[in-house]
Amino acid sequence: MKPLRTAFRLWLCTLLLTLTAGCWQDEEFSTAPTDLLRFSTDSVNFDTVISGQPTNTRTFMVYNPNARSLRISRAFLGRGTESVFRVNIDGTFLENGEASNFELYAEDSLRVFLEMTAPVSDSDEAVAVEDELTFVLESGQTQSVTLTAYGQDVVVLKGWTVTADTTLTARRPYQVYDSLVVAPDVTLNLPAGARLYFHPDARLIVHGTLRAEGALGNEVMMRGDRMGNMFSNQPYDLIPGQWGGIVLTSGSYGNIFNYCDIHSGSFGLRCDSADVSREKVRIENSVLHNVSGDVLTARACSLFVGNSQLTNAGGNCVTLYGGSSRFVHCTIANFYAFTGGRGVALSYTNADGSIPYPLHQAEFLNCLITGYGEDEIMGAQSADHADLPFNYLFRNCLLDTPEFVDEQVQNCLWDNDEAAVWREGNFSPAFDLDRLLFRFSLDSLSSAVGNADPTVTQTYYPYDRLGRSRLDDGRSDIGCYELLEVGAE
């Protein structure tokens, strides 16, 4: 028995030595120059950020695709202590811009976290900022990831009330905290190219008059102030609810929005009840898009909306409580992509509960009104206020609602599955839901093509929202965008 025990002990020792040697072999760190790291990206771009304010965190992965482990002897920022970037590699902060001795086992990975604060440069233009994060392997090989951003100086407005006629400039964006308030009997002018970046929940509240007058290719922009991405493919700028919205209070008249881009608020434009005999607001050649509430709400107001896009609302794109309104060559479409409910493209009524709102006029000429639903138009006459005016008119429109016969619906088409394309199919290129990109230019098969009233077109908008001629072929298209033939400019 004794020789057998000895043999077993020798076998066991040999096995343990073999296993240990195998572990040592697995944990050997390669110094071969061909064994390199692999990165999930070769550059990290923060895009344009507000100077002097820290960004949100960006990340990328560092992989070891090799069969043997690698030792990163040093990781450092090219600008060292002067770098505006801050880096954390798998829990280790790069103090003074560098750190050392990272071990990355075979087929394992490290996550890199980055933030930055662009320096204030006292420049009207965005200033490029760049650095490199370099990894030095034990083999002496170096590999780098480029870090880039553009720092934009802003004019910060905190709790500002405009108490005298004022014209802002287009030199730099304005970052609005709290709310920007226009006092009664005062006019705030926003020229072409003016940019207002609103902090979360901040609003533009107008008791007096707002004249936002942009130009084609140089629009007045109102958006949230959060830069960067919420997720890898989704910038904060494409997420609704990033700021409050615009309120035109009951005493506000004569407001103008021309060539404006207003998007990603909790709501778009809210018009409080007013004297219907005075025009409260005129919206032309503008985009109001992607809000978590209503894009446009008007109570007992007089308003004109032309050649404009009002799209994607968690509430309704357009809600009218009475008043007098005219919409000409508008695209009103609700393809809201976020959870939490979605309203309709258009709602109009002559009451809100027990409160009467006479609907003197709600006219829609050459308008495209559609959405995901089978009925995107909700017109409701109050049974309790049947004696109040309830006047509406749809002429030469494409309507996403069950077909019906009504003398107030004239020469309209129905956006349903009997057409060649319908609802989101009216638009080309197709929506990119992964990246939250919505384009409302027409598809050539859309029923909107060639079916607008050319007389209305000639009177109001012979050119579409993008400045393209509507009548070159003798007919015009419904909505705010004209379909151009292939090769046309």
- Judged against a pLDDT cut of 60, whether residue 2 lies above it is answered with no
pLDDT at 15: 45
- Judged against a pLDDT cut of 80, whether residue 14 lies above it is answered with no
Domain membership flag for residue 31: no
Domain membership flag for residue 472: no
Nearest to 195 by CA among 48, 324, 87: 48
The percentage of residues in the chain with a pLDDT greater than 70, rounded to a whole number, is 93
What pLDDT, in 10s, does the model give residues 96-144? 999 999 999 999 999 999 999 999 999 999 999 999 999 999 999 999 9
405 and 278 within one domain: yes
pLDDT at 473: 87
186 and 98 within one domain: no
The percentage of residues in the chain with a pLDDT greater than 90, rounded to a whole number, is 86
pLDDT at 27: 62
For residues 448 and 477, the answer to whether their CB atoms sit within 8 Å is yes
Confidence of residue 194 (pLDDT cuts 50, 70, 90): very high
pLDDT at 485: 67
Average pLDDT over residues 196-207: 98
54 and 185 within one domain: no
162 and 59 within one domain: no
Domain membership flag for residue 393: yes
228 and 206 within one domain: yes
Query: Please, is 42 exposed, middle or buried when counting C-beta atoms within 10 Å of its C-beta (0-12, 13-18, 19+)?
Result: exposed
- Judged against a pLDDT cut of 80, whether residue 227 lies above it is answered with yes
pLDDT at 385: 85
311 and 246 within one domain: yes
| HEC-encoded secondary structure of the chain | CHHHHHHHHHHHHHHHHHHHHHHHHHCCECCCCCCCCEECCCEEEEEEEECCCCCCCEEEEEECCCCCEEEEEEEEECCHHHCCEEEEECCEECHHHEEEEEEECCCCEEEEEEEECCCCCCCCCCEEEEEEEEEEECCCCEEEEEEEEEEECCEEEECCEECCCEECCCCCCEEEECEEEECCCCEEEECCCCEEEECCCCEEEECCEEEEECECCECEEEEECCCCEEECCEEHHHCCCCCCCEEECCCCCCEEEECEEEECCCCCEEECCCCCCCEEEEEECCEEEEECCCCEEEECCEEEEECCEEEEECCCCEEEECEEEEEECCEEEECCCCCCCCCCCEEEECEECCEECCEEEEEEECCEEEECCCCCEEEECCHHHCCCCECCEEECCEECCCCCCCCCEECCEECCCCCCCCHHHHECCCCECCCCECCCCECCCCCCCCCCCHHHHHHHCCECCCCCECCCCCCCCCCCCCCCCCCCC
Confidence of residue 23 (pLDDT cuts 50, 70, 90): very low
322 and 194 within one domain: yes
- Judged against a pLDDT cut of 90, whether residue 12 lies above it is answered with no
The mean pLDDT value of the chain amounts to: 92
Confidence of residue 5 (pLDDT cuts 50, 70, 90): very low
CATH of residue 83? 2.60.40.10
What pLDDT, in 10s, does the model give residues 397-454? 999 999 988 999 999 999 999 999 999 999 999 999 988 999 999 999 999 999 999 9
Domain membership flag for residue 483: no
222 and 132 within one domain: no
Domain boundary (151, 185, 220) is at: 151
Q: What is the CA radius of gyration of the chain?
A: 30
Nearest-angstrom CA–CA distance, 464 and 221: 19
**Number of domains making up the chain:** 2
Which of 23-27, 253-257, 388-392, 433-437 is predicted with the least confidence, judged by mean pLDDT? 23-27
Domain limits at 343? 153-460
Confidence of residue 228 (pLDDT cuts 50, 70, 90): confident
Confidence of residue 339 (pLDDT cuts 50, 70, 90): confident
236 and 133 within one domain: no
Domain membership flag for residue 33: no
Domain boundary (151, 174, 206) is at: 151
Q: Which residues are CB-contacts of 177 (< 8 A; sequence separation ≥ 6)?
A: 156, 157, 158, 159, 199, 202
Average pLDDT over residues 296-316: 98
434 and 304 within one domain: yes
206 and 242 within one domain: yes
pLDDT at 18: 46
pLDDT at 20: 45
Q: How far is CA 335 from the centre of its chain?
A: 14
133 and 53 within one domain: yes
Which of 22-26, 68-72, 470-474 is predicted with the least confidence, judged by mean pLDDT? 22-26
- Judged against a pLDDT cut of 50, whether residue 4 lies above it is answered with no
Nearest-angstrom CA–CA distance, 227 and 58: 12
pLDDT at 92: 96
Domain boundary (151, 175, 203) is at: 151
Domain membership flag for residue 124: yes
